[in-house]
Amino acid sequence: MRHVISVHDLSVEQIKDVLDRAEGMLPIARGEAVNDCLRGKVLGSIFFEPSTRTRLSFETAMNRLGGGVIGFAGTEATSVVKGETLADTIRMVSGYADAVVLRHPREGAAKLATEFSGVPILNAGDGAGQHPTQTLLDLFTIRQEMGRLEGLNISLVGDLRYGRTVHSLAFALSKFGNTINLVSPEGLEMPGEVVEHLEASGQFGTACHTPEKVIANTDILYVTRIQKERFPDPVEYEKVAGKYRIDPELVSKGPDSMIVMHPLPRINEIVPEVDVMPQAKYFTQAFNGVPVRMALLSMVIGGA
């Protein structure tokens, strides 16, 4: 495995391999065992957009495997404000590090970065494009909680237009054979490319505007935030902000075995009362970023 740019580049076998390795990493991620397979290696962590979980879990993963991290979170203190291009930043960081994890507001930025990098690039989110490492931890959580990755009814809820996590996840789930429901406010529907792919592979369920319509038939309720920063017009954001409110009453209408996931951050789309319900898995999901990214780094940098 070299660059990790899009879920399209990952085969079912590769995905399973990452998840199996991530399972083996759990004791190290929890601090119960020690492994320094990346000792002496350096990860370049360059984030042009805000991040909490993705950046911190990548850095934790690198530290727990004995490696080091360089990088920046926000460009204020870097030469980017002087006008340095992404190409030059990547050329330079790839000379300092053994792999580069990149988050950037522009769709296609990670792919572009591969042209200028001498080391593997890991896409940590490119605008409204994809977020493949998030998808791997989502799949890890689904397998952990449901025991399988196929034959599930997954309802993706929220900003399906600008949300990169749901783009990657829909493509990845379709590799396994599932039914995918799309629930979004008007104007924030899933891009045609994703819908056509789901239809062509016979995995398109229902598209609607309210989660009530699909909840009774949902194994996984995957909720997302409205991506405020991607709206060209703030007035349009205000129209849809707070549209969905997942509360205990709605969650109880799902099957007993249903789980609720969210890539986080959540704004107000899941009320805090849901957090204590057994269905709520979003904090477990956030923790799973560590073992999954440990597995990825050990494969990409360590050659495991």
CB neighbours of 153 closer than 8 A, spacing ≥ 6? 178, 179, 181, 205, 214, 217, 218, 219, 220
Q: Which two tokens stand for residue 172?
A: 């990845």
Q: Cβ closer to ligand NCD: 45 or 179?
A: 45
Is residue 103 annotated as part of the catalytic site, yes or no? Answer: yes
Give the separation between CA 188 and CA 163, rounded to whole angstroms.
Answer: 9
Pick from 3, 41, 104, 131 the residue near ligand NCD by CB under 6 A. Answer: 131
Q: Cβ closer to ligand NCD: 16 or 53?
A: 53
Least distance from ligand NCD to the Cβ atom of residue 224, Å: 6
Is residue 82 annotated as part of the catalytic site, yes or no? Answer: yes
Site for ligand NCD in 54-83 (CB under 6 A): 54
Between vectors from CA 226 to CA 187 and to CA 149, what angle results, nearest 5°? 95
Q: Cβ closer to ligand NCD: 224 or 288?
A: 224
Q: Which of 131, 167, 175, 225 is catalytic?
A: 131
69, amino acid identity: V
Give the separation between CA 142 and CA 258, rounded to whole angstroms.
Answer: 11
Nearest alpha-carbon partner for 135 in 162, 177, 170: 170
Q: Is 89 in the site for ligand NCD (CB under 6 A)?
A: no
Least distance from ligand NCD to the Cβ atom of residue 241, Å: 13
Site for ligand NCD in 8-47 (CB under 6 A): none
Q: Is 164 in the site for ligand NCD (CB under 6 A)?
A: yes
Give the separation between CA 254 and CA 37, rounded to whole angstroms.
Answer: 43
Site string for ligand NCD, 90-129 (x = CB under 6 A): -----------------------------------x----
Least distance from ligand NCD to the Cβ atom of residue 172, Å: 15
Pick from 21, 26, 35, 53 the residue near ligand NCD by CB under 6 A. Answer: 53
Is residue 54 annotated as part of the catalytic site, yes or no? Answer: yes
Q: Cβ closer to ligand NCD: 18 or 124?
A: 124
184 and 209 in contact (C-beta within 8 Å)?
Answer: yes
Give the separation between CA 59 and CA 45, rounded to whole angstroms.
Answer: 8
Going from the C-alpha of 291 to that of each of 103, 140, 228, 257, 275, the distances in angstroms are 20, 9, 30, 25, 22
Dihedral in degrees, nearest 10, Cα atoms 105, 110, 115, 120: 140
Q: Cβ closer to ligand NCD: 134 or 179?
A: 134
Q: Is 225 in the site for ligand NCD (CB under 6 A)?
A: yes
Q: Which residue has the tokens 């709206």?
A: 231
Least distance from ligand NCD to the Cβ atom of residue 124, Å: 7
Site for ligand NCD in 241-270 (CB under 6 A): 263-264
Q: Cβ closer to ligand NCD: 44 or 125?
A: 125
Least distance from ligand NCD to the Cβ atom of residue 165, Å: 5
DSSP-assigned letters across all residues of 251-293 = HHTS-TT-EEE--S--SSSB-GGGGGSTTB-HHHHHHHHHHHH
Which amino acids are annotated catalytic? Answer: 53-54, 82, 103, 131
Residues that bind ligand NCD (CB under 6 A): 53-54, 125, 131, 134, 164-165, 224-225, 263-264
